[in-house]
Amino acid sequence: MTHRTLLLATAAAGILSGPAVAQNVLDWGANRDIGSLDPYSYGDSFTINVLNHVYEGLVRYNRDLEIEPALATSWEILDDQITWRFTLREGVTFHNGNPFTAEDVQASLERVSHETSPLKGNLPAYVSSEVVDDLTIDITLNGTYPLLLNDLTNIHIFDKEWLVENGAELPTDIGAGVEGFATYNANGTGPFIVESRQPDAQTVFTVNPEWWDEPAHNLDGFVLRPVGSPATRVAALLSGEIDFTNDAPVQDLPRLEAAPNVEVLEGVDLRTVMIGFPFRETLVSGEPNPFATKEVREALYKAIDLELLHERVMRGKSRIAGATVAPPIPGYSEDLDTIPAYDPEGARALLDEAGVPEGLEFEFNCLSDGLVNEEQFCQAIASMWSRIGLSPQLDVAPRAVQTPKRTNGNTDIYTLGWATLPMLDSYSPLLQIFHSKEGNSGVFNWGGWSYPELDALVQEAGQELDVETRLDLQNQALRIVKDEYIMLPLHQQPMAWAVTDSVTEMPLFPDNKPRLWFARMNGDS
């Protein structure tokens, strides 16, 4: 038996190393499957990330997460300041052979911003578009808006002809109860082509030999194989069944590091973990709410031992944060990134001054399936607050249960992680979290605060086309966030990928999105 296995193995090795059939197919063991092949029908950034290998946007992020031309080669803002003219790349074809034109861009923009699309929030400023000629398109916005390019990195371009032929011009409307063609089929311009898909088992991607760009990768294809159970994923990596995972469980990192065939890629995520406060009149319990007072929030910050959280709970892998955005995000500045000294006595003194009674009870809302080690750091923080004479009531549950409580104001203090995705700009938290809750702004302003001065800065930044001026405005707004202790930043959370020795290059991106068009394997190709 052993003999026979050996023979088979030798034969297999011979076949694999033969130059004629050299195959660099990367097995990607993800922690979950993509929802469907249609990037526009479910607001899931992982699905969009994976499908970015098949579909591309007008612009894209390069290795350093800077925006660079993709399907568009250049762009300019016309005199009215609200219309952007994009010149498109010549000679690009879709996987089905159809040429890429301005009609395709228009159909895609209409599709994603249609009222039944759950993703229309990804292109908030879009009003209409006009095809100038085959390779020129004008996009009109609802005002001057500096971040259109950031938004467009995530808007995948479909082939109009293909959409029309298959009746998929509109995103799948789940309410209507009819399936969409694009759920099962894909046809983009990207570096990889979807060959087959079995949900929850595997989705096979092969290389697109007709890709317009010079490939930096040397893959012949990759297979997305979801492995939901962390222990199984680790086992599959150790046994070489998968070559790469974008979610190496934190508790298994020592084991993976010790394995001879596995390399762990560790980094710090862009996601900043913060604590938010209620600004309503009363707490959920009906007691008067002391957290609307700045000194009380300051006291709660001083009572948190950030070093201890970093060392114990995050096992030294996180980055302690004093600012509400991570260093690589435009708008970050070092002078905002300072942390207060751990000072429980000072904190108690502040509470006494503000008249906060000993033993004040309030709810502390955390997710069981949210941030890295969230349950643990919430417990740690709750006990630190107990030390200054408060009684936080920890409430830990899954996201789907907690989110309605948070949005409806049915909780007091809460956690929030914000990576500024997909925009990668500090404008994102300023608009979505820190701005007053009105219209499209402040969707995540769960505490219900309002700082008119901050709002004015954010609105001004949202219409400022000069980058320097805009970032300066955003920096001033972030300064208010910091000085007023609107939210308390804790840390940027760790992230870990792992590859086996068959992978020679896998750039780790701080937005935690794998981009396999930069990956290389050690087979010759």
Partner 1 sequence: MLAFLVKRTANAVFVMLAVAFLAFLIFRSFGDPVEMMVNEQATQAERAELRERLGLNDGFLTQYVRFVTNAVQGDFGISYRNQQDVMVLIGERFPATLELVLVATVISLVVGIPLGVITAIHRDSRLAGMLQLGSIVGVSLPSFVVGILLILAFSVTLGWLPAFGRGETVDIGWWSTGLLTPSGRAALVLPAISLATFQITLVMRLVRAEMLETLRTDYVKFARARGVPRGRVHWVHALRNCLMPVITLTGMQIGNLIAFALVTETVFQWPGMGLLFIQAVTFVDIPVMAAYLLLVSFIFVTLNTMVDVTYAWVDPRLRDDTAEVGGTNG
Give buried/exposed letters for 209-235 (b at 16+ CB in 10 A, else e).
eebbeeeebbbbbbbbbbbeebeebbe
CB neighbourhood size of 391 (10 A): 13
Sequence letter at residue 119: L
| Concatenated DSSP letters of 249-309 | -GGGHHHHHHSTTEEEEEEEEEEEEEEE---SSB-TTSSB-GGGSHHHHHHHHHTS-HHHI
Give me the residues paired with residue 397 across strands: 367
| Interface ranges with partner 1 (CB under 8 A) | 32-33, 35-36, 38, 41-45, 115-116, 118-122, 124, 172-175, 177-180, 183-184, 198-202, 225-229, 231-232, 235-236, 238-239, 241, 369, 398-404, 407, 421, 432, 437, 439-440, 443-444
Give buried/exposed letters for 274-312 (b at 16+ CB in 10 A, else e).
bbbbbbeeebbeeeebbbbbebbbbbbbbbbbbeebbee
- Strand pairing report for 360-367 and 413-418: parallel
Q: By C-beta, is 9 or 308 nearer to partner 1?
A: 9
Locate 238 and state its tokens. Answer: 């150790």
Q: By C-beta, is 443 or 508 nearer to partner 1?
A: 443
Q: How far is the CB of 229 from partner 1 (least distance, A)?
A: 5
Q: How far is Cα 410 from Cα 448, in angstroms, rounded to an integer?
A: 12
Q: How far is the CB of 376 from partner 1 (least distance, A)?
A: 21
Locate 504 and state its tokens. Answer: 């020679």
Give buried/exposed letters for 400-431 (b at 16+ CB in 10 A, else e).
eebeebbeeeebbbbbbbbbbbbbbbbbbbbb
Closest alpha carbon to 523 in 504, 498, 497: 504
Q: How far is the CB of 329 from partner 1 (least distance, A)?
A: 15
Q: How far is the CB of 466 from partner 1 (least distance, A)?
A: 24
Q: How far is the CB of 121 from partner 1 (least distance, A)?
A: 3
Q: By C-beta, is 227 or 350 nearer to partner 1?
A: 227
Contacts of 25 (CB under 8 A, 6+ apart): 219, 220, 221, 222, 223
- Tell me if the bond preceding 422 is cis, omega within 30° of 0: yes
- Residue 237 has φ and ψ, to the nearest 5°, of -70, -45
Q: By C-beta, is 73 or 202 nearer to partner 1?
A: 202
Q: How far is the CB of 182 from partner 1 (least distance, A)?
A: 9
Q: How far is the CB of 474 from partner 1 (least distance, A)?
A: 17
Locate 29 and state its tokens. Answer: 């063991």
- Residue 34 has φ and ψ, to the nearest 5°, of -75, 155
Q: How far is the CB of 306 from partner 1 (least distance, A)?
A: 26
Opening angle at CA 186, ends 181 and 189, nearest 5: 140
Q: How far is the CB of 148 from partner 1 (least distance, A)?
A: 14
Q: By C-beta, is 240 or 357 nearer to partner 1?
A: 240
Q: How far is Cα 293 from Cα 351, in angstroms, rounded to an integer?
A: 10
Locate 133 and state its tokens. Answer: 């000629």
| Concatenated DSSP letters of 90-114 | TT-B-TTSPBP-HHHHHHHHHHHTS
Q: How far is the CB of 219 from partner 1 (least distance, A)?
A: 20
Q: How far is the CB of 110 from partner 1 (least distance, A)?
A: 17
* CA distances to 92, 128, 423 from 270, in Å: 33, 32, 12
User: Quick one: 508 exposed, middle or buried, by C-beta within 10 A (0-12, 13-18, 19+)?
Assistant: middle
Q: How far is Cα 409 from Cα 363, in angstroms, rounded to an integer?
A: 11
User: Are the beta carbons of 272 and 324 closer than 8 angstroms?
Assistant: yes
Q: How far is the CB of 482 from partner 1 (least distance, A)?
A: 22
Q: By C-beta, is 322 or 462 nearer to partner 1?
A: 462
Q: By C-beta, is 373 or 432 nearer to partner 1?
A: 432
Q: By C-beta, is 151 or 337 nearer to partner 1?
A: 151
Q: By C-beta, is 62 or 407 nearer to partner 1?
A: 407
Q: By C-beta, is 43 or 507 nearer to partner 1?
A: 43
Closest alpha carbon to 71 in 47, 100, 42: 100
Q: How far is the CB of 227 from partner 1 (least distance, A)?
A: 5
Q: By C-beta, is 61 or 211 nearer to partner 1?
A: 61
Q: By C-beta, is 42 or 451 nearer to partner 1?
A: 42
Q: By C-beta, is 120 or 513 nearer to partner 1?
A: 120
